[in-house]
Structure formats: C-alpha cells, structure tokens
Structure 1
C-alpha cells in the first residue's frame, strides 16, 4: 500500500510511505524522502533518503537511527545542516538489508551521492523509487515505479531543454575573470566537474559551504580556495544571490534554466527534462507509476500524460490511502 501520513495538525507530511510484506511475510513500512514521525507514534521501519536537497527532507530524517542513505549523502547532510547523521549508510550501487528486506541501490546522477532504491515484496513485485534523476541509464525495470516530475509537464515549453555545455565552456574560455552562480550543493559540484572536464586546471574560488561540500564529496576537484584568498585572475563559484557582492569587473553568469536573474543564464540542469522523463518510464516499463515529487501541478500533469500514452499512473495528490498520527 502506498499511503500518505497526516501529522498531529491534520496536514499532510511531505511525500509518501509504502507498506508491504517482505519475502519472509513480515509487514514492513518504508517512508520516502519525508520528515520524521514524532517519537510517540509508531515509526516506519526505515526513512529512505534519496539525496541531500532540502525538498527531500533529509534534515529531519537524518536525526533518526532508522534513516538510510548513501555515505556521501550523509556527509552532505551533516555539512549543510551542522547536525550528526544518526542512521546507516552505504556506497552507491551496493545492495543492503533493511529490516530483513534486500534493497538494491542505483546511481541516478542527480547530485553526488544521490540514489534510487529498489526491492521486492512477498509476491515478487519490484518497487523502484528513483528520487530526482539526471541520467536514468542505470535504473532497472520494475513493476511499481515511484518517481519525480520536476520538469514533467509536457505542455510547458520550459520543461524542454538541453544542457548548454558549449555555452558554459565558451564563457570561461572567453573571460579571464569569471564567476558562476550555482547552488552550494549539487550545481556547484557539477560546475567544478565541468571545468575540470574541459581542461581547466587552475584555482577555483568558492564560498565556505560550497567549498566544504566540494572538497569532501569530489575526488578530483583540483585546487580549490576560499573566495578572496586567490591572487590574480581565477574562476569563482558562488550562490546566485552572492554574485552582486563580487567586483564589477568580473563577468558573471548563472547556471540555471530560470530567466529571473539579472545575469546571463547558462542552461545546466541536474534533472531530466520532459522528454527524458517520458523516455525513462518507457525504458523502465512499469505496470504502474506513482509521481511523488515536487509540490504543485507537475506531478498531476505528468501522471495524466503517462496515462495518455498507455502507462497507468497516479500523482501524489490523488493517493487516497491516508494514515493519521492519531491512529498509526
């Protein structure tokens, strides 16, 4: 049973949970990318955390000894939230046992350490939770797919894009002093990987949290320095809202698909676009799909589109199975 849980205020907790019987016939509950259930209520058997972005609620779940995430996701959570991760960890790609259930993990290339989880119930139904996905090439076929729709509205032209890698490369080659606006977790590490991949071996300056995350999570990050510690021309990576704080002579770009920043945007995304999401579902070929993320209208529109092309689908707002903390 896929269900949503209400908290003590009568409002929905984020995302969802899955109750199923294990191969041994035991009743098990996994909560997916959600906040913790208060300690006085019955706990799920595990809080599965796909990655460390705040809209997947690891800040709350990381404090439970029932939390499960990759080693690098745990590190990212600790750096981002200055809290000790209390759960268990694994290396991306490993198979682990959680409450007697064999859980397989797969890279989805959304952020450093992000994963998809898959397991089987007592009748062999394969359940796959993707998290957010940038590259679905390593995700397996399944029977029940639980996935995202960040850019899943086929009727929205902004949900169709290709990464502008050429524009990114030209920007840093054409400017001796340049800054990229990129979120501290995820996009900043992607920017460093791209720069090194294009052959840049100089110093990259970063603000505190971006630097700490990148040094810890990337194995081949090269020479990194705190912002302002480097002499001469260099490349800087800062959060988009900090670009205004940099000297005016520095050329500034934002790594985003949005158009509401004052600086030129370079389309670099950590997500599949609408075409990629549809292709992912076709390749995984599930019997049923639940679209659980993000908030807003896109899960419903993506589920509706999947239905129209022959894939049974349901969005999170249509899930009728609801448990209240008063009864859990």
Structure 2
C-alpha cells in the first residue's frame, strides 16, 4: 500500500519527492526544484533546475539575475509535467502574480502543496483553485481564530477617507515589494483613485514586471522631489523598511500606514509607529484556512509552517487526520 510519505516527505531542504527526485520550495540549493511563487523564502537562487510558472520565473530573474538556476522550465497553469514517474501540475494559489499550488500525482495518489495562498479576490492574480486530493499540504501563517481579516475594499476606503480628512498631509503606505504593493495600487484604482501614485524606487522594477504581464497599475511616478509641498494629499507606497529611515522625512507630516495581516495586532502597529494600520493580507485567514480544508476534505492535512497547532487541532476535531511538519526557513514576507 502506497503511503503519502513515499511520495513527499519533509527534509531539511524542504519537501522532497523521492519518486520524482525533486524538492518543492527548497530552502537551500538542490539539483531539481519546483517553486510555487517568487517570494524569497520560497524562491531561492542556486538550484540546478527550476520548474515554475512563467511569471514566477520572470520574478526570480528580476530579483536574482538571469543565471539564478542552471536551467528553467516554465509550466502554464493546468499543464501536466512529468518528473520521472511523477506528474506535477501547477494551479493558481491566489497569493501573488504567478503563485501556484503544486499538484503531485503518483500511482493514483494525489498530494497538493498549497505554497502560500489566500481565498479572497485579488485583482493582480488568478484566484485559488481547489483541487481534490488525498493529502493537502497547507500553510498556516494566520492559523489562529483571532485572525479574521476584514474586507480589503473597506480598508482601502478607510485610507481614502484619511486622505480626504488630512489634505495637507501625505500618506505613506508600507507594503511588501512583491504582490502587496501592486495589489494596493489596483485596489486604489478600483476604488476610483485615478491620480498619480508615487512609489519608492525599490518597487519600480516589480511594478514594471506586473505591467508586462498585463496588470494595469495606472499612472505612477518616483517619490522624489525637492519640494515637500508637492506631496500634500498624495499617496506614496514604499517597502516597510523605508518607513523607518531618512527617506520618509522628505514628505509633509506624513501619515504612516502599513498594509499587513499583522496590523490586526494593535501592539505591532504601535511598535512600528503606524498611525493608520490597514489589515490587508496576501495569506488566508483562520476562516479561509478552515473553510478550504473543509471544502477539500482530504484524507490527511499536513501543515508546513505558521501557527500549526491550532489548525491541526481544528482538523482533528473535524475528523481529518493532521500533522505539523514544522518546516524551517519559511517566514512571513510582511515581517
């Protein structure tokens, strides 16, 4: 009888597929890797061969340079790729541009590695696609009942109300450079903000990459000028690290905002000096995690990283065998 661990098993490098001789999102260089998305804790340079979506390969090339792997293979969503006796298919994960779940099939057994994912709509990438499976291998970044994210449109409405209320001040939004920044821009466009959005230089290349892949971000401009008053009433987007350095002092009495699921914890907002916390996350919250597992009803639930114990306990209470893999090396990009 085939056991799930005969197909995928945790190793220090990451999840290893022995029949196909590859790793999924390995945390150190390996001969063959399947990469679910372009965030640096999942997509590292130095592998021998990398299989990923075309968008993820472009992101890795932009971040690490053209020689980030000895060889690459692009797989479109839904395209089955053979790795020895194993079939690998990438399907949308709804996390960021190009993000995918890795569906691994072998001898009638189907295991799905979620990578990072969310279930709510994102105007910058395809929605998460549920895949029936024997084993679902899920993240649990926000795997506690306290994490229930509000509607992102209402969070954007709060931002725009603040801009209206304080027209003499600029608003600087801390947002991770890959995925979150572009999503905030698109949500602002959908909310009717058609003015130029100013961006930190660290975001420009990834913004251009999104545009090349058909994500219309509207008018953008570098957040550079000698005249502070030009930024009154303006929205500026920057990586979180820039919020704490001298760069942010060039703007008139800025309202410091930060877009992250962690902003639900007010103590974190205070520690960062955030005046306007925006609870917008690219990860599934507690309700989305549990609803996904309940929808799939897999034979087993494996949990890769995050708040593993609570989700495993929930699964056991709902008659789904679960185990925490406690994989090391995956951090939340928003932190």
TM class by shorter chain equals 0.7 to 0.9
Specify the SS of the correspondent of 1:213.
Answer: helix
Matched, 1:269 2:253: no
Q: What count of residue pairs does the alignment treat as equivalent?
A: 288
Q: How far apart are residue 83 of structure 1 and its match? A: 5.5
Q: CA deviation at 1:115?
A: 0.5
Structure 1 unaligned residues grouped into runs of 5+: 6-11, 20-26, 319-328
Q: TM-score, normalised by structure 1?
A: 0.79
Q: Secondary structure at the match of 2:59?
A: helix
Equivalent in the alignment of 2:53: 70
Shift of 1:160: 2.5
TM-score where L is the length of structure 2? 0.78
Hey, what does 1:255 align to over in structure 2?
259
Contact 1:130 1:146 in 2 (8 A): yes
Q: Which stretch shows the higher mean deviation, 100-109 or 189-198?
A: 100-109
Moved more, 172-181 or 144-153: 172-181
Residues 77 and 209 of structure 1: is their aligned pair in 2 closer, same or farther, counting only changes over 3 Å?
A: farther
Larger mean Cα displacement after TM superposition, 82-91 or 203-212:
82-91
Residue aligning to 1:287: 299
How far residue 84 of structure 1 moved from its aligned partner, in angstroms, is 2.9
Match of 1:208 in 2: 201
Equivalent residue number for residue 34 of structure 1: 26
Residues of 1 paired with 2:131 and 2:172: CA distance?
A: 38
Distance 2:29 2:200 in 1: 35
Aligned to 1:4: 10
Residues 105, 115 of structure 1: 8 Å contact kept: yes
How far off is 1:107 after superposition? 1.1
Is residue 50 of structure 1 aligned with residue 39 of structure 2?
no
Q: How many Å apart are 1:170 and its aligned residue?
A: 3.2
Distance 1:98 1:196 in 2: 41
Matches within 5 A, 1:80-119: 80-82=63-65, 84-86=67-69, 87-90=71-74, 92-100=76-84, 101-119=86-104
**CA, structure 1 residues 18+191, in 2 after alignment: closer, same or farther (shift >3 Å)?**
same
Cα RMSD over matched residues? 2.4
Deviation at residue 220 of structure 1 after TM alignment: 0.6
CA distance in 2, matches of 1:169, 1:92: 35
**Aligned equivalents of 2:309, 2:158: Cα separation in 1:** 38
Preserved contact between residue 95 and residue 102 of structure 1 (Cα < 8 Å)? no
Return closer, same or farther for 1:120/1:77 CA change in 2, 3 Å cut-off.
Answer: same
Please say if 1:160 is aligned against 2:148. yes
SS of 1:205's equivalent? strand
CA distance in 2, matches of 1:117, 1:251: 40
CA contact (8 A) 1:92 1:115 kept: no
Q: Name the residue aligned to 2:132.
A: 141
Residue 299 of structure 1 pairs with residue 308 of structure 2: yes
Structure-2 separation of matches of 1:190 and 1:235: 14
Query: Which runs of 5 or more structure 2 residues have no equivalent in the other structure?
Result: 1-5, 120-126, 328-335
Cα distance in 1 for residues equivalent to 2:67 and 2:99: 19
